[in-house]
Structures are given as C-alpha cells and as structure tokens.
Chains A and B, each alone.
Chain A
Amino acid sequence: MKRKKTLRILAILIVAGVLVGAGIGLYMFFMPQRDIRNLPADYNLNASGLVAEFLDDIGSANRKYLAADGESKILEVTGTVARISENFNGEKVVLLKGDNDKAGVSCTFMHETNERVIGIETGDIVSIKGVIRSGAYYDEDLEMYINVTVEKSDLVD
C-alpha cells in the first residue's frame, strides 16, 4: 500500500517534470523578440563620444557594448542629424554625426517607428534609442570610416 503510494507520487512528479520541461521548451522556442522600445536604455551617450570610444579602443568598446548572444546593449544616443535615408527594407535610417567626427551613429528605425522620423531635418539635435549591432572603425579595404550601427530605433521624446 505504501509502495503504491510512493509510486503514484513518483509518477506525478515525473509527469509534472515533463510538463514543466515541455512548457519551458515551448516558451524558449516561441520566445518573442525583445521589445527595445519598452526597455530602459543601458547607456545614455552622445554620438561623438560613442564613436570616439570605438575609434580609441574597439576591443574594449566591443566588450562593453556587444553581448555574446547578440542581445547587446540598448543605447540612447544624442547627436546632430547629418542624413536621413531609407534602407532596402523600407526602414528609415537617421545618421547622427558631428561636423568634425570621422564616423557617425547610423540609427535604423522599424516599420512601426518610421513615422517618428517625419518632421526631423538635417541639423536637428535628437535623441534616439535602439540596440547597438556594431561599432565604428576605419576599414582599410573600403577606405572609409564605418559608422556605429544601432537598430530597432525610436525617437526619444
């Protein structure tokens, strides 16, 4: 009788374990992408300072801003709008760059935030929040400075 009860408890524990495991697995598999707009910024920076940080020591800046699983730091970057364009995916791209800077911060918006770019003009000083994808550096093969890239961007009011 006691043995039967022990077996029943064991069976319940196993089934519960399998269900919890399957639940976690399913959650992980269908886990939605991070909602950058509703997450707080890890760093508040100005565009020139961020570019300078990468140009001074790209290894150290990569370690500071880029995460091993690709879910890198969320930045709020303030700078002067140097160019507004659109990428292959129809997303607006705002380049923040100071007149004397060698590179800038290229902020790619989303289809959901594209409209927020309307009204922005070159020369305006704006703050943009997004996730960093890569840093600035001089590329000898392209013979040009590569901008910091920030994606999933939105304008900070």
Chain B
Amino acid sequence: MKTIKTNKTMKTIKTIKTMKTMKTTNLFLALTFMFVSLQVTAQDSGRLVSENIQIKFFSTTPAEDIEANNYSSTSTLNTSNGSVAFSVPMQGFEFDKRLMQRHFNQERFLHTSEYPTARLVGKITNLDEIDFSSNGTYDASIEGELTIRGVTNKINEKGTVTVNGNQVTAKSVFDVTLADYGIEFSSGRPASNIAGTVEVTVNAIYNQQ
C-alpha cells in the first residue's frame, strides 16, 4: 500500500517537473520568437523604396551632345545594412531624336528587347558615417555590381545621401565605359557621335513603404 502511494507521489512530482520543463521550453520559444520578430521588424523598418527616380545618360563628342532621361526605375535602400538595388527599364530612356532612341535600343547598342533591364546591386561602405535619424547631407561610397546588356562589372562610386525627416534623397554622378559592357563602334556615325565613356546621373527619392 505504502509502495503504491510512493509511486503516486513520484508520478505527481514527475508530472510537475515535466510541466515546469514545458513551461520553461514555451517561455524560451516565446522569447526566441519575440527576438526574431523584433529583428525582422527592425530590418523591415530600415527598408526604403523609391519609384521616383531620374537617371540621365549624357554623351559628349565634338560632333554632338546626346542626352537621354529615364523616370521609370525602382530602387530599394536598406538603412540598417546599407544594401542598395536599382532596376532600370532600358526602353524608358527618352531621347530628343527618335532615330537616336532607335539606335540606342537596337541589338548592336543596348539590345533592350533581349536585356530589358539594367541593374545595380551594391552596399554603402561608409554606413557608420550616415545618420539616417538626423537631417543633413552625407557623403556616401557605394560598392557593388552594375549589369548592363547582360554584362556585369564591379563598381565603386561616390554619391550623397540627404536625410529630411522620413524622406531620403540619393544622388550620384559616375562614368560608364561602354566597351566594358560589350558596346563598341569601330566605324560609322555612332563611332564619331557617341562617346566611349558616358556620364550617368542618378537622383532618387526614397520613402518608407
């Protein structure tokens, strides 16, 4: 009889212990979940999106100056880890002259029907020098990869980031050597009228989404 009672007591103690272990496990799981959620929220809150972008292409030669603008790109900027990405629809570049625009899109130049988007994927390397919580203009260095016409090259460019409340404006002017992306003209009008290196200006206004 005594043995049975002892067994029952043991079982009760075991059950209480198991429940305690379960409670601890549940508490641990809940805390882990909260921690992960907080991290995800922190990352999400640092993600800015821009669909208000100007990308200007400028080429100058003794023969003529050529300029084209694109207002249809999309970009994201993560203020937490400094990652930056751009998607640029190449057929969105608008020239004054229709003939110029047709040449730009054709196979021997940008081949936009085969490669409809150019991409820039990179990171701000001096993120610690930019305070996204304080209004002001900061110098920014970007390292990454630029893909045009299916050819990817490493880039290392400078720009500025302006913080104004919840809005962040990014600006950068850099050169692109066309031959690096498989675009070369040895003869004819394009060879004399299009510069081997063109200037690209990027202006983007980011907001939280």
Q: Does B69 contact A (CB under 8 A)?
A: yes
Convert A138-151 into 0s and 1s, putting 1 for each residue whose CB lies closer than 8 angstroms to a CB of B. Answer: 01011110110101
Q: Does B162 contact A (CB under 8 A)?
A: no
Question: Measured between C-beta atoms, what is the minimum distance from A70 to chain B in Å?
Answer: 3
A29-B99, A133-B92 as given contacts; A88 in contact with B87, CB under 8 Å: no
Q: Does A85 contact B (CB under 8 A)?
A: yes
Q: Does A39 contact B (CB under 8 A)?
A: no
Question: Measured between C-beta atoms, what is the minimum distance from A25 to chain B in Å?
Answer: 10
Are A70 and B85 in contact (CB-based, < 8 A)? no
Q: Does B185 contact A (CB under 8 A)?
A: no
Interface set, chain B 39-95, CB cutoff 8 A to A: 47, 49, 51-54, 69, 71-72, 74-76, 85, 87, 89-92, 94
Q: Does A5 contact B (CB under 8 A)?
A: no
Q: Does A114 contact B (CB under 8 A)?
A: no
A residues in contact (CB < 8 Å) with B: 28-34, 62-63, 66-72, 85-89, 91, 93, 106, 108, 133-135, 139, 141-144, 146-147, 149, 151
Chosen A-B contacts, 16 in total, with CB atoms closer than 8 Å, are A31-B98, A31-B99, A68-B106, A69-B105, A70-B105, A70-B106, A85-B52, A87-B52, A88-B54, A88-B205, A89-B69, A133-B91, A134-B90, A139-B87, A141-B87, A144-B49
Are B72 and A88 in contact (CB-based, < 8 A)? no
Chain A residues whose CB sits within 8 angstroms of the CB of B54 once the complex forms: 88-89
Chain B residues whose CB sits within 8 angstroms of the CB of A34 once the complex forms: 98
Are A135 and B72 in contact (CB-based, < 8 A)? no
Chain B residues whose CB sits within 8 angstroms of the CB of A85 once the complex forms: 51-52
Q: Does B107 contact A (CB under 8 A)?
A: yes
Name which residue of chain A comes closest to B76, CB basis: A142
Chain A residues whose CB sits within 8 angstroms of the CB of B117 once the complex forms: 134
